[in-house]
A and B are shown apart, each in its own frame.
Chain A
Amino acid sequence: MMAEILSVSFLAGLLAATLRMATPIVLAMLGEIITERAGVLNLGIEGTMLFGAMTGFLVTMSTGSAWLGVLAAAGVGMLLALLMAFLVVFLGLSQHVSGLGITLFATGLSMFVYRLHFGSPTVPPTVTPMTKVAIPLLSRIPIIGPGLFNQYVLTYAAMILIPAVWVLMYRTRIGLTVRTVGENPMAADTVGGNVNLVRTLALVAGGALMGIGGSFLTLAHQNMFLRDVIGGRGWVAVAMVIFGNWNPGRGTIGALMFGLLDGLQLRLQGWGLPIPFDVFLMVPYVLTIFALVSVSRRAAAPAALLKPYRREVRG
């Protein structure tokens, strides 16, 4: 068995699977980080991902272009984020409840639209999945090459977005404004920042990433839409935001860990070990909980998270 684990193809495959499995989580997590940094917890994430997955699949099916599918997924993610913004930013309703409401609504709508369009076929319809793109030269490096540099474009995009979101948050003017809005909206307001606009835009940007993250699952990872295609990855992304202390880099470590376990679990399954398959499936969730325990003491959530902002109060 050791020989098997250390074989070149196994390691390369595992590395590739790690990045692939981490992709949707990274995308959704980055979206959630942007949103939460502005002070809004978006628990609509799971439903937004599912609706993105369904829309991406449907549009790809009808147009034949996976990229149009991804674009449509981003679009519906933004629409759901606007609905969320209406509820929690404009009306100031509970972020917990509104987010869960959106997840429920989007889940129902995804299944409804899918059924409406495809009926209940015995064999689920499929699309031609996106193809992997090998980066010249780099992909020829042993193990690492096929592992890291022969991936879907969305995976590369997710990896590039990690530093990009970090730069956006910590090195740009808009990033500073977003963080200020999430920490102390009054500080942003008194220097002329429009708190509710910033929050709405952060939600919309985050929603787009969540939608794209969902579409990766139906357009690249798999080529069909199933009811449990997201399988809690949205919730894992929320956990990773906390694990990463609202920092894209640290959150990615968690997402990669999750991806690694996911990838490992698929491989171990093939070996016919005398342990039920579900035990492996459980491991990533259990470890995520342990990871949360380990970081909970130093957790530094944005101070204004969950708090609606209103100016017209008696001063």
Chain B
Amino acid sequence: MRTVLVKRGPIPSWSRAVTPLGAIAVTLLLSAVPILIAGAPLFRSYGALFYGALGTRFNVLETLVKSSPLILTGLAVAFAFRAKFWNIGAEGQLLAGAIVATWIGVTFGSLPRFVMLPLVMVGGFFAGGLWAVIPAVLKTRLNVDDVVSTLLLNFVMIHIMGALLFGVLQKEGAGWPISEEIFDSAKYPFLLARSRFHLGIPLAFLLVFAVWFVNERTVFGYRSLAVGTNLHAARFAGIPTTRVIVMTAVISGGLAGLAGVGEVAAIQFHLLADISPGYGYTGIVIAMLGALHPLGVLLASLFFSVINVGAQTMSRMTGVPSYISGVIEGLSLIVMLVALLLNEYRLKVVAS
């Protein structure tokens, strides 16, 4: 007796839509175990979670605020993975963007806002993009494994940031790693009263559409997909694979860099050692959860944001440690992977 996977027939489109919802339901069911172990009442806990994330206007806007770096890193990773450029380095690219945005933001105070804001964004974008070019070139020219090189470069960038925060970027007289505050002209404008709803949020939504457009409508998006589907066959077809991978890396790193810009220009206004609580890594999970599709990334980011923001409230109200959000996120990925598989295959017990 053993079990085998048997491919199902064509997958109906309703099933595609229902699968993520089912996966979320199963995830919340499984997450009940640690919540119950923590000794908290289940329904009140989940109630607190959803109230904290979505219960009031302020909470909803806060959830959106939290979602913007996740959308950007999620898009960054999804765009890279689609071309099978295994960019695990969104964290480092985010920091690169944050560093350059800070440097511009504290240096060119005399520039007017309409120059400064684009400058900060473009600077942050290219900082992240260029940082991602390193592993792309190592991969295409020197055959260095991109998973490992992007991972290691995260730690390099963390320490570059550390060195700068104890060096040239450190705030005058500060004993801890923090930069000067950026000039007002470099800050993202807030768009809604009584909230932190800032320019970066509509920007992130706009970029979801932009990435979709590039993927589906442009020559570059098609080539990027071809390279990711079968590098060998793409080369055979005459597609300049190295150029496509490097360009993909620039865009991917750039999107992650913009996430860093947002954290500096709209949330912290300083560069700090813990500017990112691992948004780059979470972006990987979001990309996978969103099946590498921009719209999927958007929905997964919103889901994670609900969990993250809500877990704080749940922690305050029922005492479940807020780290439950990490458990839920990890579980959601694993459940989603299995669900997507079972969508295409069914398990069958066979005699041999």
Residue interface bits B124-167, CB-to-A below 8 A is 1, else 0: 00000000000000100011110111011111100111111011
Which one of A104, A235, A278, A279 lies within 8 Å of B333 (CB-CB)? Answer: A104
- Bound-state CA distance A312–B6 (Å) is 9
Return chain B residues, CB-CB under 8 Å to A106.
Answer: 330
Q: Are B337 and A112 in contact, CB atoms less than 8 angstroms apart?
A: no
Question: Is B324 among interface residues, defined by CB-CB distance under 8 A?
Answer: yes
Q: Chain B nearest CB: distance from A24 CB in Å?
A: 16
Which one of B34, B88, B155 lies within 8 Å of A282 (CB-CB)? Answer: B155
Q: Are B152 and A96 in contact, CB atoms less than 8 angstroms apart?
A: no
Residue interface bits B273-298, CB-to-A below 8 A is 1, else 0: 00000000110110010000000000
Q: Chain A nearest CB: distance from B233 CB in Å?
A: 18
Q: How many A-B residue pairs have CB under 8 A?
A: 154
Q: Chain B nearest CB: distance from A9 CB in Å?
A: 28
Q: Are B86 and A96 in contact, CB atoms less than 8 angstroms apart?
A: yes
User: Taking A112-B326, A112-B327, A296-B143 as contacts, is the C-beta distance between A286 and B5 under 8 angstroms?
Assistant: no
For residues 279 through 297 of chain A, which have their beta carbon under 8 Å from a beta carbon of chain B?
279, 281-282, 285-286, 288-289, 292-293, 296-297
Question: How many A residues have CB within 8 A of the partner chain?
Answer: 48
Question: Is A98 among interface residues, defined by CB-CB distance under 8 A?
Answer: yes
Could you tell me the dominant secondary structure of chain A's interface residues?
Answer: helix
Which of A97, A104, A292 has the largest count of B CB atoms less than 10 A from its CB?
A104
Question: Is B203 among interface residues, defined by CB-CB distance under 8 A?
Answer: no
Which one of A107, A112, A236, A297 lies within 8 Å of B321 (CB-CB)? Answer: A112
- Bound-state CA distance A43–B150 (Å) is 13
Query: What are 7 A-B pairs at a CB distance below 8 A?
Result: A92-B5, A235-B148, A278-B160, A285-B153, A289-B144, A289-B149, A296-B145
Question: Interface of B with A (CB < 8 Å)?
Answer: 3-5, 34, 37-38, 86, 88, 138, 142-145, 147-149, 151-156, 159-164, 166-167, 281-282, 284-285, 288, 321-331, 333-334, 337-338, 341
Question: Interface of A with B (CB < 8 Å)?
Answer: 43, 83, 87, 90-94, 96-98, 100-102, 104-109, 111-112, 115-116, 231-232, 235-236, 238-239, 242, 276-279, 281-282, 285-286, 288-289, 292-293, 296-297, 299, 310, 312
The 5 closest A-B pairs by CB, nearest first: A108-B326, A105-B330, A278-B162, A115-B321, A282-B159
